[in-house]
Amino acid sequence: MANSNCPPPSQALTYSRHTVLVIDRAPTSADAYRRLLQQQSDLAYQVLAESEDGPIAELCHSRSVDSILLEAHAPDPRGLELTRQLASQMGDRCPPIIVVDANDAYLAVAALKAGAADYLVRDHITADRLHRALSAAAPRLSDLSDLTAYLRPRDREWFLAVGSDLQAIAGQAGYFHWVSPTFERLLGWTTAEITSRPWIEFIHPDDLARSVAMAERLLSSNDVLAFENRYRHRDGTYRWLRWRCQMDSAQQVSYGTAVDITALKQSEAALDKSHDQLEQQAHIYDAMLSTISDFVYLFDRDGRFIFANQPLLDLWGIPLADAVGKNFVDLNYPDVLAAKLKQQIERVFNTAQTVRDETPYTSPTGVSGIYEYIFAPLLGPDGSVQSVVGSTRNVTQHRQIEATLQENEARLRLITETVPQIIWITDAAGNVEFINRQWQDYTGDPTESTSALKALIRFVHPEDVALTMAAFNQALESGSSFRTEHRIRSAAGTYRWFLAQAEPYRDLHQGHITRWFGTLVDVHDLKLAEAALRSSEAKYRSLFNSMDEGFCILQVVFDAADRAIDYRYLEVNPVFERQTGLSNVLGKTIRELVSDLEPFWFDIYGR
């Protein structure tokens, strides 16, 4: 009910001073909050500071602390543990606690479950946000008698009409004697309906036993009691209310105020659902990370482990609880290695650039090896590096294989450099990948980056290029071996004959040609010898055929007892055929030509 004589807002009920206790391991935090709160001119703030292990409860009582700002530092659990401890130890006398930590829904849910009144993200705190959070969490007047005594009678109706809280006076018989107009605004029931029926009729069935027990406790205590329950709205839905009540033994009535926290409960339910989903996802991710052999882990800005997967924990021989919050020094890494890794983590935080490296390491469980690792930035919504994610792989076997391959390659190169033949390797397109020193020694050209076609045109004798190209193209089309002979120009400008041979190398899985391995063998002297032999044979053949006497060359055939039994004609000249009357005798035996030859001829030729 409005009143034209109601006081202006400046004359309404306010606190002249709001005392804030800042709890943190760093004493400078209080100064930062003090500077922020000085920007609020409508309320005087007094900021106190205390460490996590200080006499907090005594300080809250002696200095009339109105609110607590508790700096938590996840994954360090001490912040949430202290919140639970204060809420349990001080009970209703505990000032509202506002937890300050990173931008993490899981941490926010955990803080609220631990008893915090609110949760602020450290990197997002402004003077206005801090002021609004402290104002919302400030203790409300819980004793309605204090409230009504403070207000002038002519202002009471106005204050109750515009107030957001529900106020009520209840008797011992289970009925409300009086309720504020807020009841009708929030729950839809008129004052007459609320006061004419027992209040238990409005309570949610699941909250009834707890609410009755709290009412019985209220009758035997002068303390302010706080509890929550659900009240039925006129439309059949339920609203969550957070009560603070106190018994007036003299008048046999209890005074109470309530705040509608339905939206908060819905937010908590949504956060709980998100938390459950996050936990399920975390469980899935953890299971997935535990199945891979690589080590996966996460660092905070101080180089401490936030997470390590099971293979890494097995390497160390410790559970996750013993690894979280530890750095490399704590985990007994060698000093030099620990310092190097810490510097690399800091570099990722400072530059947001990935670091790749490897190092030898022997674990506490006695496993030694060479480990390749990657440190990468994990960015937050604002683009800043929130943490560093890392993965490590044991590459000992790979490095051993690489060393063996390098040794084998060195041996093979030594062999190829010492053999007299020219050895070459090209890719499927004919680009030279390797050619040994003998090529340069012979041609005077290194050809490190040339193609086989260019080398063919530059150094093969012009008369042999077409034949060579035809043979090579046929090999490419058929995928068969390549073999030809051609002349190659030397550094001195002379040509020598070479036998060119190549074999295709195919992909083991798809079967297509990926390389050609070939050799060039100097056959020039052999070519000259063959030419000389052909010339000599021609001279011999001319002499053989021009002789006046009959002449033949025979091959004697022996039996198993080494007795001559036949002979075969290998060569005969024309005179022999004219004199003997035999023709077309080459390759035939005498028994095939003459059936009644005397045996002594075999004895003569057999000697």
Amino acid at 95: P
Q: What pLDDT is attached to residue 316? A: 96
Q: What's the confidence (pLDDT) of residue 32?
A: 86
Mean pLDDT of all residues in the chain?
A: 84
**pTM strictly above 0.75:** no
Q: Determine the pLDDT at residue 12.
A: 36
Question: To 5 degrees, how large is the angle CA 590–CA 596–CA 601?
Answer: 60
Distances 89 to 25, 93, 166, 487, 524 between C-alpha atoms, Å = 21, 9, 28, 101, 104
Residue 159 has pLDDT above 90, yes or no: no
Where does the pLDDT of residue 451 fall: very low under 50, low under 70, confident under 90, or very high at 90 and above? low
Beta partners for 498? Answer: 486, 522
Given a cut of 70, whether residue 111 has pLDDT beyond it is: yes
Nearest to 322 by CA among 339, 342, 305: 305
Nearest to 192 by CA among 208, 211, 179, 182: 179
Residues 6 or more apart whose Cβ sits within 8 Å of residue 39: 127
Q: Look at residue 141 and tell me whether its pLDDT is greater than 50.
A: no
Q: Who contacts 264 (Cβ-Cβ below 8 Å, separation ≥6)?
A: 240
Query: What are the φ/ψ torsions at residue 122 (nearest 5 degrees)?
Result: -55, -45
Q: What is the mean pLDDT of residues 191-198?
A: 92
**DSSP output for 118-159:** EEEEGGG--HHHHHHHHHHHSPP---HHHHHHHS-HHHHHHH
Name the range with the highest mean pLDDT among 264-273, 336-345, 434-443, 593-602. 336-345
Other Cβ atoms within 10 Å of 129 Cβ, number: 13
Q: Which architecture does CATH list for 419-527?
A: 2-Layer Sandwich (3.30)
- Residue that has been written with the tokens 């035996």 in this structure: 589
The fold of the 144-260 domain, in CATH, is Beta-Lactamase (3.30.450)
Under 8 Å between Cβ of 271 and 186: no
Amino acid symbol at 200: I
Ranges 42-46, 207-211, 223-227, 424-428, most confident? 207-211
Query: How far is residue 486's CA from residue 518's CA, in Å, rounded to a whole number?
Result: 14
Using pLDDT thresholds of 50, 70 and 90, give the confidence band for residue 539. Answer: low
Which range has the worst mean pLDDT, 135-139, 248-252, 325-329, 507-511?
135-139
Range(s) for CATH 3.40.50.2300 in the chain? 9-137
- Please determine, for residue 13, whether its predicted confidence score (pLDDT) is greater than 70: no
All CATH 3.30.450.20 domain ranges in the chain, comma separated: 144-260, 295-398, 419-527
Query: In angstroms, rounded to a whole number, what is the distance separating the alpha carbons of residues 469 and 373?
Result: 50
Long-range residue pairs from 402-410, CB within 8 A, at least 24 positions apart, any chain:
none
Is the sign of the CA dihedral 292, 294, 298, 304 positive or negative? positive
Give the length of the chain.
Answer: 607
> Would you give the end-to-end CA distance of the chain in angstroms?
152
d(CA 442, CA 429): 25
Q: Does residue 569 contact residue 585 with C-beta atoms inside 8 Å? A: yes
Sign for the CA dihedral angle at 279, 280, 281, 286 comes to positive
Specify the CATH number of the domain 295-398. 3.30.450.20
Q: Are 258 and 237 in contact (CB under 8 A)?
A: no
- Please provide the DSSP assignment of 394-450 as one string: E-HHHHHHHHHHHHHHHHHHHHHHHSSSEEEEEETT-BEEEE-HHHHHHHS---SS-
Contact 127, 37 (CB under 8 A): yes
CATH number of 9-137: 3.40.50.2300
Q: How many CB atoms lie within 10 A of CB 73?
A: 19
pLDDT for res 245: 92
Task: Determine the pLDDT at residue 16.
Answer: 53
Q: Which residue shows structure tokens 């060698």?
A: 334
